Structure 1
Amino acid sequence: MGWNSWNRFRCRINEKLIRKQADALVSTGLSKLGYVYVNVDDCWQASRDSDGNIIEDFKAFPSGIKALSDYVHSKGLKFGLYSSAGTQTCEGRPGGLNHELQDARKYSEWKIDYFKYDNCMHEGRGDKTATKSRYGALRDALNATGRPINYALCSWGEVNVWEFGKELGNSWRTTLDIQDSWKSILSIINQNENLHKYAAPGGFNDMDMLEVGNGRMTQEEYRTHFSVWAALKSPLLLGHDLTKTTRKTLEIIGNKRVIAINQDPLGRSAILRIKYRNVFVWVGELVDGDRVLLVMNGGHKTVEVSIDMAIFAVSEKDVRESETYLLETKDLWENNEGTSVATWRNSIVAGRIPYHSVKMYRVSRKNGKFPSLQKAGRILEDIPITVVEYFSFVGYCSSFHRAVLILLPMGTTAGLLLSFAHHPDRTIDLPEEAKIESNQKYVTIQQAYELLKDDKYRREYDQFGSFYTPSPNKSSDTRAYGSAKWDWSVQDPGTRELD
């Protein structure tokens, strides 16, 4: 746990900035929660001397890296650096390939505690054998110094690095770089779907640094981002400007109960047991025998979810026994003290989950022990999950969709102008992604117009700001991993609360 400079600052780093970030880790109280690493990413290097020794960028770091390391340590924190297992770093600074021994000695002299090794400019040495050789060379060099250094492999998930990562380092990146967007978060979650078995004390799947607090996602999306990273035991490295940490950001990254899940001594990643439509359900083992239960709504509509207690089962015998479970279930996000959650008819009632949001629970069994999940995969197909989906044409609720609701009641002119601007004939020359987005807006406008031109719906909207509408998907559907139900439901615009 700690902080890394890359997500927020990229190459715009210097000695003064890093010192301020270290100060902020302490002044915000984050260091007391376990965020202790201050990691300087790319762009601290300048060149190599005639003997091949690495030289720091003294324009940006006039006191030198050793002085910066000493300052960070004086705050009771730990210090980390970065390079690439290639001839250059990703930003064109000197890389570490073929300089492992002399670099490791220098890092030890500087008293670093963490080292991130990237994958750029490896001169075609990207197959499994060559990757093991490149990363193994620095592992051996760091070990030879005798200094304990957390070694983080950043090979972007290439050549299934998780299969051998523990032989080389303490963590391994499983994907390409994260972005401050829901699309990126969901992509990383999907790519880590079946990697739980590779995470254990001493070596963990690294889903990349955190984007919480950088401002391009909603509060709910950041909470989901943090929750999944915590449950899957990814390193929690903050990536925002710590000097501008807001109360809302602290509410997420400072949640002690969620941090405890991530730092649980057992070190086992939660397992994805249900992936049904846009609902994901993970269960993870904790050292005291408890379970973490994480339910994510990855779709664009609010849902209500209840999950059969057999979610904790592994065998048919366990499924039958689950009918007798007496559970204590605490909501880890409702408040910092934890709130009991209802169980009903042998199910845990997660309740209403806004789009892109989560419910996260710590579950204790009061009449025995849960079965071990070590041989568990996804849940059996006949274990039910009930999903009630709330229809809303503003389900993914950007400011644009709200504008549609505001403008259309004013009259048809505004609606026609909006419709004309996003008509498919007007967007034919746009890039594919922009074209899809514009077409979605066009459909939204048409839906809004058709509903609001009805006098009954318009009166309800004028009076209440919303209206009841039949779902176009009213049906009952049972497929693998559960059952889903759609019913008449009230429009729910969800939430969009920027940090």
Structure 2
Amino acid sequence: MTCQLSKLRKAVLFFSALLLAAPASAALGRDSLALTPPMGFMTWNKYKDDISEQLIRRIADRMVSAGYAKAGYKYIFIDDGWQGGRDKRNNIIPDPVKFPSGMKALADYVHSKGLLLGIYSDAARLTCAGYTGSYGFEKQDARTFAEWGIDYLKYDYCHAPSDSAVAHQRYRKMGDALQDSGRKIALGVCEWGQLNPERWARQAGGSLWRVSYDVRDMWKDIVGQGGMGILDIIDITEPLYKYAGPGHWLDMDMLIVGLDGKGGPSSDLGGGGCTYTEYQTQMSMWCMFASPLAMSHDLLNENEATRRILLNKEMIAINQDALGEAARRVDFPGVCRVYLRRLSGNRLALAVMNPSDKPQGIRLPLSVIGKAQKYAFRDVWEHKTTLRHKIWQGDLQPHETKVFTVTAR
């Protein structure tokens, strides 16, 4: 009898372990929805809630004609402000004035261009801008999004309890609903990093999660208003590198490249604009950390300096590298920072950043890279290759970042 009870206990423990592991395994299985960081255009910083189906169609056309789709920018992310409430059956509906043809027709048009469509909601009754959220209607809304042909959901956390366990629960509920919706829809966890989503967002079904509050169009917060500049977000992301990988990414928020301080939400809290050296650093470090790349500038009226940064194929290739590792900072004396990212094909990506307000010179011994006697350095921004022995040295302007792909010779 004792032996039988022992066997029974073992069986119960075994099957209990299976039951406990199943949800986590199911969640981790969603990693395949974003094997590389998603790339696209997000509406919020430029348009806020002044959006329409005509605008989204124009953006889709522009992304194809201007070469962004070919470069890898496949998503159009519709942010807050598309909602028109709920119908008599509590189905969420788009604003009939902004989207008179409905979301299904719009998704069909976007898909016809070879692009993907993302949409926005919130884990509360109301969104950040005060529109209809999805709390309490997760399964219903997930089915609706699937019927429309949506490919991605940015799920915000305004008006929700500031408790990590509750956040995990609410995101898990939507993650499960998306998985059961009948369509593959990636989930972007937009909790802003305050409740340590790196510890639970992947298990909740997230393909990516925000690491900070909203980015502002500035280098760093110098007025103490709590805004997140480029350098502020880099500082927050640095220690989190180990949490990134294929299908689960550190979301550093939108690219502000080309916004030029021209208003919109990114201009709040001191966001008066950046230099193009600073914009280039944002692109460099977002790619080094394998962050999703969501453009947010005036795509329909852009300049060549913006296009040069956003369409740099070599920089994008680092971001999209199949190995999926995020850069780690190398312990190195001096003002300049050194970052390394392992790439496929036995290569490395090396970034050297000057965060200071003064020009800086640096002499970098190649021993920080490895033990080879000679390396080929491919300057990703200058598109030039040179051979280096024992040391790399260079001068960096304030807030400049140089990026190289490095191969042992």
TM-score over 0.5 for the alignment? Answer: yes
TM-score, structure 1 length as denominator?
A: 0.69
Structure 2 residue aligned with 1:199: 244
Structure 1 residue aligned with 2:395: 352
Which of 139, 150, 153 aligns to 1:115? It is 153
**For 1:284 and 1:87, how far apart are their aligned partners in 2?**
41
Q: Which amino acid aligns with 2:285?
A: V
Asked if 1:134 is matched to 2:176, the reply is: no
Q: Which amino acid aligns with 1:329?
A: F
Structure 2 residue aligned with 1:250: 307
Within 5 Å, give how 1:69-218 maps onto structure 2.
69-122=107-160, 124=161, 126-168=162-204, 169-183=206-220, 184-215=229-260, 216-218=273-275
Asked if 1:20 is matched to 2:58, the reply is: yes
Q: Which amino acid aligns with 1:81?
A: I
**For 2:67 and 2:238, how far apart are their aligned partners in 1?**
33
Would you say the 8 A contact 1:142–1:149 is kept in 2?
yes
* Residue range with higher mean Cα deviation, 240-249 or 304-313: 304-313
Question: Which of 1 and 2 has greater Rg?
Answer: 1
Would you say the 8 A contact 1:21–1:241 is kept in 2?
no
Moved over 3 A (4+): 274-278
User: Structure 2 vs 1, CA of residues 157 and 112 (structure 1 numbering), >3 Å: closer, same or farther?
Assistant: same
Which of 333, 336, 339 aligns to 2:381? It is 333
Q: Which has the higher contact order (CA 8 A, sep 6+)?
A: 2
* Residue range with higher mean Cα deviation, 45-54 or 90-99: 45-54
**For 1:75 and 1:247, how far apart are their aligned partners in 2?**
24
**For 1:221 and 1:182, how far apart are their aligned partners in 2?**
7
SS at match of 1:226: helix
Structure 1 position 129, deviation (Å): 1.3
**For 1:292 and 1:163, how far apart are their aligned partners in 2?**
27
Would you say the 8 A contact 2:107–2:148 is kept in 1?
yes
Q: Which amino acid aligns with 1:43?
A: G
Would you say the 8 A contact 1:174–1:207 is kept in 2?
yes
Q: Which amino acid aligns with 1:194?
A: P
Q: Which amino acid aligns with 1:347?
A: I
Asked if 1:273 is matched to 2:330, the reply is: yes
**1:381-430 CA deviation, whole Å, 9 max, x = no partner?**
xxxxxxxxxxxxxxxxxxxxxxxxxxxxxxxxxxxxxxxxxxxxxxxxxx
**For 1:352 and 1:274, how far apart are their aligned partners in 2?**
19
Structure 1 residue aligned with 2:296: 239
**For 2:57 and 2:237, how far apart are their aligned partners in 1?**
34
Structure 1 position 45, deviation (Å): 0.3
Structure 1 position 162, deviation (Å): 0.8
Q: Which blocks of at least 5 consecutive residues in structure 2 are unaligned?
A: 1-38, 221-228, 261-272
**1:167-196 CA deviation, whole Å, 9 max, x = no partner?**
121000000000111111010011111011
Which of 60, 70, 95 aligns to 1:57? It is 95
**For 1:56 and 1:274, how far apart are their aligned partners in 2?**
50
Structure 1 residue aligned with 2:79: 41
Structure 1 position 310, deviation (Å): 2.2
Would you say the 8 A contact 2:376–2:385 is kept in 1?
no
Asked if 1:303 is matched to 2:341, the reply is: no
Q: Which amino acid aligns with 2:314?
A: R
SS at match of 1:267: coil
Q: Which amino acid aligns with 2:187?
A: Y
SS at match of 1:140: helix
Structure 1 position 277, deviation (Å): 5.4
**For 1:198 and 1:362, how far apart are their aligned partners in 2?**
23
Structure 1 position 278, deviation (Å): 3.9
User: Structure 2 vs 1, CA of residues 240 and 285 (structure 1 numbering), >3 Å: closer, same or farther?
Assistant: same
Q: Which amino acid aligns with 1:181?
A: M
Q: Which amino acid aligns with 1:225?
A: Q
**For 2:119 and 2:299, how far apart are their aligned partners in 1?**
18
SS at match of 2:180: helix
Structure 1 position 34, deviation (Å): 0.5
Identity %: 41
Structure 1 residue aligned with 2:223: none
**For 2:148 and 2:46, how far apart are their aligned partners in 1?**
25
User: Alignment length, in residue pairs?
Assistant: 350
Q: Which blocks of at least 5 consecutive residues in structure 1 are unaligned?
A: 314-321, 367-499
* Residue range with higher mean Cα deviation, 189-198 or 159-168: 159-168
SS at match of 1:294: strand
**For 2:303 and 2:185, how far apart are their aligned partners in 1?**
31
Within 5 Å, give how 1:466-485 maps onto structure 2.
none
SS at match of 1:193: helix
SS at match of 1:165: coil
Structure 2 residue aligned with 1:363: 406
